[in-house]
Copies of this chain bind each other. A is one copy, B any other.
Amino acid sequence: MQKSATQHRKRRKAVPRRTLSRERILTEALTLLDKEGARALGMRRLADHLGVTPMALYNHVRSKQDLLQGVVATVIDRIDYPDEGGDWRDRIRGCFRAMRAACLAYPGIVPLIESADVLPASIFRPMEITVSALRKAGIAPTDAVRAYYLLVTFTVGQVSYQIRGWGRGVDPVDAVQRGRIPTEKFPNVAVASSGRDWDFAASFEFGLSVVLAGLERQPKRWPSP
């Protein structure tokens, strides 16, 4: 038994060479992030999962911040925005549906995006698509950028709510049921929250439609090309 332990040690000492790489670290960090949340992702825990000493990571990653930026960047870079087909409304819809889908596929990165100091340049891809589409709708560039920020804050904010499990004392249905909300003080909240689970997808589509309808009514100060 001691012998096998020694063999194990030898193996552990021989194999680690070549077993580590920046890419392997980032993908492991991503799965750990999505499985256990941003709180559980530490250098020591991550190193454990990779069967390595914490310091080994620093050969491939400058710091924890660099690690997190790298993880966020890999996800954001890989998002595939449908860039053609349909009118400007369809293009915008497709763009933010893709963004939402990516966030839901990798829920762990959403809080990182919200608190990130710097994001990769590919973060401007959906902005490019949106501004381009809105120019075709005859909307001035500045307003188009404003519309983009409206759409992106809405989209990310919405998935952020959804990911947190919706239990965080922000869910009106839950709050009404637990008696946290005095019904006489918030009658409309109480009425609207009577009932079943919240349909996040429907809520997202509703918001998208409202914004697009509102943009349609915006004064066209720009000749469409």
> Which A residues have a C-beta under 8 Å from some C-beta of B?
111, 114-121, 123-125, 127-128, 131-132, 135, 141-147, 149-150, 152-154, 156-158, 160-161, 164, 168-170, 172, 175, 180-182, 185-189, 191-193, 202-203, 206-207, 209-218
> A180's closest neighbor in chain B, by CB?
B121
Q: Which residues of B contact A157 (CB under 8 A)?
A: 149, 152-154, 156-157
Tell whether, in the assembled complex, residue A141 and residue B191 are in contact, meaning their CB atoms are under 8 Å apart.
Answer: yes
Tell me if B154 and A150 are in contact (CB < 8 A): yes
Number of copies: 2
Query: What residues of chain B lie closer than 8 Å to A218, measured between beta carbons?
Result: 210, 213
Chain B residues near A164 (CB-CB < 8 A)? 117
Measured CB to CB, the nearest residue on chain B to A218 is: B210
Instruction: Classify the secondary structure of A's interface with B.
Output: helix
Q: Could you tell me the distance between the alpha carbons of A153 and B128 in the complex, rounded to whole angstroms?
A: 22
* CA of A143 to CA of B203, assembled, Å: 8
Check A168 against B118 for contact (C-beta < 8 Å). yes
Neighbour of A128 across the interface among B188, B212, B216, B217, CB < 8 A: B188
- CB contacts (< 8 Å) of A186 on chain B: these are 124-125, 127-128
Nearest first, the 3 closest Cβ-Cβ pairs linking A and B are: A153-B157, A214-B214, A118-B169
Max count, chain B CB within 10 A of own CB: residue among A127, A158, A214: A214
16 A-B pairs in the complex with CB atoms less than 8 angstroms apart: A111-B114, A114-B114, A124-B172, A128-B185, A131-B188, A131-B192, A142-B192, A144-B188, A145-B172, A145-B203, A150-B206, A153-B158, A209-B214, A211-B214, A213-B213, A214-B214
Cα–Cα distance between A16 and B133 once the two chains are bound (Å): 63
Q: Evaluate contact between B214 and A127: CB separation under 8 angstroms.
A: no
Beta-carbon nearest neighbor of A130 in chain B: B188
Report the minimum CB–CB distance from A175 to chain B (whole Å): 7
A149 partner, pick from B158, B169, B209, beta carbons under 8 A: B158
Q: Give the distance in Å from the alpha carbon of A216 to the alpha carbon of B185 in the complex.
A: 27
